[in-house]
């Protein structure tokens, strides 16, 4: 039996400094190459779920795994190293560095962890991804000179450049027009198809759900969620 690409087992999480929110995930598995969408009402815990999976947060109880690695047992530096090496993240607020060019933002995982791979090959992939997403001519610009949609596409390139085994995206099309939104989703799906990676996407766009293998309704999965705090 093939091991899951990612899994939750008896996971419970609360924000100690804030009342009114609790996330409980008794069991959740994502298979290799599986495309999973996560939906739910605002504040139900979708962002908390992906932050637990990526190791940004650690649960008070239970195990969170990516492949054979129990992320929830690692130290913060170890989780960060695993995240850079194995996970491609597309953040809702992009998280681009304004003092770096678009190209250097895409290449940031390699600068943070040189052991990630060959920089020459990474530059080649960066340019190919950027060209596919229509921002190849903007690689020398800094984020402050890019539109919201252009910044989003640069963030997607950064998530895919390391050829991750798991892609996690938080509203990856939220700032894009329908044409560019379709291009971003197609690129993410192509990566899953060609690399065997798994993908978990948080989205409010129900028009996209038909593209996924499975849809997780977090409202149903998490019976303890009351109100997710603002970042």
Q: Where are the domains of the chain?
A: 32-45+80-221
Q: For residue 182, give Cα distances in angstroms to 23, 81, 212.
A: 31, 31, 13
Q: pLDDT tens across 158-194, in order? A: 998 988 999 999 888 777 777 777 777 887 888 778 8
Q: Which pLDDT value is given to residue 14? A: 92
Q: pLDDT tens across 207-218, in order? A: 888 889 999 998
Reported confidence tier of residue 7, pLDDT bands at 50, 70, 90 = very high
Whether 130 has a pLDDT exceeding 50, the answer reads: yes
Mean pLDDT confidence for 36-58: 91
Relative orientation angle of helices 178-195 and 148-160, to the nearest 10 degrees: 0
Is the CATH code 3.50.50.60 the one for domain 32-45+80-221? Answer: no
Mean pLDDT confidence for 133-153: 92
Q: Which pLDDT value is given to residue 136? A: 96
**Residue 98, Cα to own-chain centre: how many angstroms?**
20
Q: Which range (5-14, 51-60, 133-142, 151-160) has the least confidence?
A: 151-160
Mean pLDDT confidence for 6-11: 95
**Residue among 118, 108, 124, 129 at smallest CA distance from 188:** 129
Three-class SS of residue 116?
helix
Q: pLDDT tens across 112-122, in order? A: 876 667 888 99
Mean pLDDT confidence for 97-111: 94
Q: Which pLDDT value is given to residue 1? A: 62
Residues 6+ apart with CB under 8 A from 203: 37, 38, 39, 171, 172, 173, 209
Percent of the chain with pLDDT over 70: 93
Whether 147 has a pLDDT exceeding 50, the answer reads: yes
Mean pLDDT confidence for 73-86: 91
Whether 24 has a pLDDT exceeding 50, the answer reads: yes
Q: What is the pLDDT of the chain when averaged over all its residues?
A: 86
Whether 84 has a pLDDT exceeding 50, the answer reads: yes
Whether 226 has a pLDDT exceeding 80, the answer reads: no
Strands 22-30, 6-14: pairing kind: antiparallel
């Amino acid at each position: 039996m093939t091991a899951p690409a990612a899994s939750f087992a008896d996971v419970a999480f609360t924000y100690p400094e804030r009342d009114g929110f609790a996330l409980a995930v008794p069991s959740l598995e994502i298979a290799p190459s599986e495309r999973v969408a996560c939906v739910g009402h605002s504040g139900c815990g979708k962002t908390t779920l992906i932050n637990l999976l990526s190791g940004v947060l650690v649960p008070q109880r239970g195990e969170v795994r990516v492949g054979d690695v129990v992320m929830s047992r690692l130290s913060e530096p170890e989780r960060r190293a695993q995240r850079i090496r194995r996970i491609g993240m597309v953040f809702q607020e992009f998280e681009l560095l304004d003092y770096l060019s678009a190209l250097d933002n895409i290449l940031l995982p390699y600068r943070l962890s040189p052991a990630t791979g060959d920089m020459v090959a990474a530059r080649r992939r960066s340019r190919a991804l950027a060209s596919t997403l229509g921002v190849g001519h903007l690689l020398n610009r800094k984020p402050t000179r890019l539109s919201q949609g252009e910044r989003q596409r640069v963030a997607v390139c950064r998530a895919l450049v390391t050829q991750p085994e798991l892609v996690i995206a938080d509203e990856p099309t939220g700032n894009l027009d329908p044409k560019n939104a379709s291009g971003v989703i197609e690129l993410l799906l192509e990566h899953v198809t060609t690399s065997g990676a798994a993908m978990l996407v948080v989205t409010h766009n129900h028009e996209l759900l038909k593209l996924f293998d499975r849809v997780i309704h977090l409202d149903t999965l998490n019976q303890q969620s009351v109100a997710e705090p603002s970042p």
